[in-house]
Structures are given as structure tokens and as C-alpha cells.
A and B are shown apart, each in its own frame.
Chain A
Amino acid sequence: MVDLETIRKKAKEIVSREDVKHLIGWRKGTFGYRVTPYWVEAPEDAEELVYSPLCNTNLATYLTLAEKLPLPKGQEPDRRKTALLVRGCDSRAVVQLLTERGVDREQVVLLGLPCRGVVDLRKLKDSYPEDNEVADAEWKEDKIVLNVSGEKKEIPREEVLDDHCLVCRYPNPVEADETLGEKVEPWAEESHPGVEELENASFDKRWDFWEKEFERCIRCYACRNACPMCYCEDCILDRLNPTWIYRSNNYSENTAFHIARAFHLVGRCVSCGACERVCPAGIPLGKINQKLVKEVREKYEFEPGTDPEGVPFQASYNPQDQEDFIL
């Protein structure tokens, strides 16, 4: 693994570079287990960077979220690069963005970090309640050491790790300019927890399950905003003419919203789990995404975000694609 000083030193070096505008990383939040994304603009800011199992935002999101304001006449656009700390899933998101031409490789500097999985705050808070004190955490072999007000607690990793991280097969960056620290041995086999269980249920049972889940949705669109792959400037959810999905908050529109959101991630979802972690209603969005990831992998042998030279899944075809469902 990699120690914090190495990251800060490297970050300083990168930010001091002439051609780099800023570096996006994480820093401690204002209370409890919170960690927030952080823009390092000057070399001295790098001292605030942290890297721990609590860093659960996918930073690749911020590459495409940056606002592009119209420039005053005669002013040159800022063409400096954005540097980014990337773990396995973040780097897969960046690679997927590269294949979609959402991001220009020349415009990003990727600083790779091996990762042993991030915690699911809900799971963590259940067994180790959060207080106002800013906490700290680190990986230690197969454990996570939680440091709350000077008191250290060792927690087995399986207990608090996010569901997506438990089955993560890409703990090391797929694409990076430089990877710090030693590589981590992947710990998981290909599996999609929770998907088989629903697949084996009857149609009615499945609908009962999802109806209850979707009913709780408050349509805050946090899942869309946290997703590194949702970066359309003109999102169908915001569009009024035609109105694809009404704004009313009922099970019909909520279902339509969730189907549309999931479908737009077919062959693009990199399984980082950011959507599920930010959902205030606790809807298991990962279960929908994982189903599609599984189908795409099994039926088309395609895995998004692994090949920077690849073609996007939905923009390509194979003449031998399955057609057993066609009448």
C-alpha cells in the first residue's frame, strides 16, 4: 500500500507543474467519518490530502462536472491539465470516458493509487456510531483501523466494506501516468451479489421488491450526479420538450426514472457503487446496475473501462450477437 507522505509529496510535485491547473483528491470532512473531495490549487494545499478507506467518492465524476462558462471576447481558454487521484474504479471510469471521448487523455494527469476497498458508511455507522469528532481510518492488511478521538479500533474488512468493493476485481488502477505504492492482490472472484436471488424469483415477487424500493425514491438525482458516467449536458431527466419522465413523485415515474438511469449505463457502468452510497433513501441501485453488468459480460464478453482503445458497447455490434429472443 501507499503512505500518505508519498501521495502528498507527489501531489505537490504535480501541482507545481506549469501545465497543471489543479489536482483533485480528498480531505477530511467537517465531522465524523466524512471525507470530501478537495481541489489542490497550490502546492501547500497538498498537506491536507488524505487517502483512507473513508474516501468513498468517485473523483472521476468531477472531470466532467467542471462548469464551462462562456469566455469573454479575446480571452484564451485555460488549457491546463487536471490531475486526479485514481483508484481501480476511478481509473476504469476515466478509461470509459476516454473511449467515449468524454475526456481527452492529454488533458488529464492520473496519479494511480492501489485500493483495498472503501467502507459503506451505513454499515460502519450501524456498528460504530459516528460522533462530531473527525475520525480517521487506514488499511492494515485485512483489517481497517478506525481512529476515533485517539482511540483505535480494528475492524475486519468484510464487516464494513462496501458491497461493490467486496467483489472488486480491479483494486489497482487500469490506466495511470504513475502508480504509487505496491500493487494490491485482487481478492474477489467474478460475482454479482443479490442479483441471482432476484433472478430466481417470480415476476410478481420481483416487482413487489422493486415497487417498494422505487416508492421510497425522492428523485433527488444524487445517483445521477455522483455517477462518473452521467455527464450529458442535456440530460433527459431535465428535458421538458419532450418530457420523457414526468417530475411527479409516484411509483410510475420513479420506475421510469430508474429504468432510464440504469439503461443509460448499459455497458458503461464501472461498478464503483457511488450511486448506491449517495442514495439518501437507500435504494439498492447496485442490484440493477450489477444485473446489466452481468448480462453484458456474459452475453457479449464486454467489460467497460478496461481498454482505453476500445469502442463503447452500445456504439458497436457484432454480426454474431445473440438473437434467441427475436421472433
Chain B
Amino acid sequence: MSEQFEPNIVAFLCNWCSYAGADLAGTSRTHYPANLKVIRVMCTGRINPLFVLNALQQGADGVLVSGCHPGDCHYMEGNMYARRRFRLMKDLLEYLGVDSRRFHMSWVSASEGGKWKEVVEKVVDEVSEIGPFEQFKREKINW
């Protein structure tokens, strides 16, 4: 019996743009893959890169971070800091041998329901291609 691999993707969305964008995609009845586990945060600047690390350790096959376009941040500059941070986090993960397709970042505004759909499809496609994440997944500990 061969089952198709359904990736488990954790998405961190900013409350003001991407979350609303995803909401718009939902209310406009757009169909897109349901592999995402959405975590709403107030701003991409609030996401500690260790969140990404922890998600991967705890069984995520891919991680998506999505926020407002530069200049549109509700807190003026939160996404600017996030941009620097995740650029280097991505470089570091790649350098250690984690496939670059596992971690993505995107800008999706509240009115871009269509773009959200494209982003999700792309991310799910890419992660499905490389298969489950096994590299440093946390071992189950049985006490």
C-alpha cells in the first residue's frame, strides 16, 4: 500500500497581513492544500528563529514565515528585522545540510488571498518533493 506523503508544515503568520490574507483566501472559497498548521503571531519580528528550529525538531517537515510587505508593518519596522534574521537563519540551516526548500519566507498582505494560495501551493509542492524531515527530528522519549 503506497500512500502519498502529506507534509506537515508549520506556518507563522503575522496578525495584521498574512493572517488576514489567509482569512481572505478562506472567505473567498479559494481551494488550497490543507497541510499548513497556522500559528498566529502579532508580527514577524516577534518570531524567534528558535521557533523554526523547534518546529523542525518536533516533527514539522517544513516551515513558512509570512508577514507584511516591507513598509506595511503594523509596528513600522518589525518585518525589517525579521528579514535580516531569517535570511541568515536560512543560510545557516542550508550550510548545515537542511534542504533550502524546507524553510520559506513570504510577504503576503491582507488583500492578497490569491498570492497566499500560490505561496502555499509552492511550499507544499516543494516539501512534498523532498519528503519527510528526519535530520534532527527529536527522538521520542519514553519515560
**A binding-site residues for B, Cβ under 8 Å:** 198-199, 203-211, 236, 244, 246, 248, 250-253, 255-256, 258-260, 262-263, 266-267, 288, 291-292, 295-296, 299-300, 313-315, 317, 319, 321-323, 325-327
A246 and B50 form a contact (CB under 8 A): no
Nearest B residue to A317 by beta-carbon distance? B80
B120-143: contact bitstring with A at CB < 8 Å (1 yes, 0 no)? 001100000000000111110100
**Chain A residues whose C-beta falls within 8 Å of the C-beta of B91 in the assembled complex:** 291-292, 295
How far, in angstroms, from A256 to B84 measured CA to CA in the complex?
Answer: 20
Q: Assess the A203–B99 pair: CB atoms within 8 A.
A: yes
Contact in complex: B122, A323 (CB < 8 Å): no
Instruction: Tell me which residues across on chain B come within 8 A of A267, comparing CB atoms.
Output: 88
Is there contact, CB below 8 Å, between B96 and A327?
no
A291 to B90, CA, bound (A): 12
Q: How many A-B residue pairs have CB under 8 A?
A: 111
The answer on a CB contact under 8 Å between B87 and A322 is: yes
Partner of B97, one of A209, A251, A314, A321: A209
Q: Tell me, in angstroms, the Cα distance from A300 to B84 when the chains sit together.
A: 9
B122 to chain A, nearest CB (A): 7
**Given the complex, which residues of A lie within 8 Å of B99, measured CB to CB?**
203
Beta-carbon contact of B87 and A325 below 8 Å: yes
Residues of A within 8 A of B71 (CB): 319
Candidates A255, A260, A317; contact of B84 at CB < 8 Å:
A317
**A263 CB contact (under 8 Å) in B70, B92, B107:** B92
Asked if B97 contacts A263 (CB within 8 A), the reply is no
- Contacting residues, chain B, for A291 (C-beta < 8 A): 91-92, 95
Query: Within 8 Å CB of A259, what residues of B?
Result: 53, 92-93, 96
A295-B85 Cα distance, complex, nearest whole Å: 12
Q: A244-B50, A291-B95 are in contact. List 17 more A-B contacts (CB 8 A).
A: A205-B97, A207-B98, A248-B141, A251-B136, A259-B53, A288-B92, A292-B91, A295-B91, A296-B88, A315-B81, A317-B77, A317-B81, A321-B80, A321-B87, A326-B105, A327-B107, A327-B123
Expressed in whole angstroms, the minimum distance between the Cβ of B60 and any Cβ of chain A is 13
Instruction: Confirm or deny: B49 has a beta carbon within 8 angstroms of a beta carbon on chain A.
Output: yes
Q: Are A326's CB and B83's CB within 8 A?
A: yes
Which of B83, B89, B122, B141 has the most C-beta atoms of chain A within 10 angstroms of its own C-beta?
A: B83
Cα A203 to Cα B50 in complex, Å, equals 21
B94 at the interface (CB under 8 A from A): yes
- CB nearest neighbor in B for A198: B95
Q: A325 near B90 (CB under 8 angstroms)?
A: yes
Closest to A195 in B: B95
* CB-based closest 7 A-B pairs: A207-B97, A206-B97, A327-B106, A317-B80, A255-B136, A252-B136, A252-B138
A321 lies within 8 A of B136 (CB): no
Of the residues A198, A246, A256, A263, contact of B88 by C-beta under 8 Å:
A263
Q: List 25 A-B contacts (CB under 8 A).
A: A204-B97, A206-B95, A208-B97, A246-B138, A252-B137, A252-B138, A256-B53, A259-B92, A262-B92, A263-B49, A263-B50, A266-B92, A288-B92, A291-B92, A296-B88, A314-B81, A317-B77, A317-B80, A317-B81, A317-B84, A321-B83, A321-B87, A322-B87, A325-B105, A326-B83
Q: B57 within 8 Å of A by Cβ?
A: yes
Bound-state CA distance A255–B133 (Å) is 14
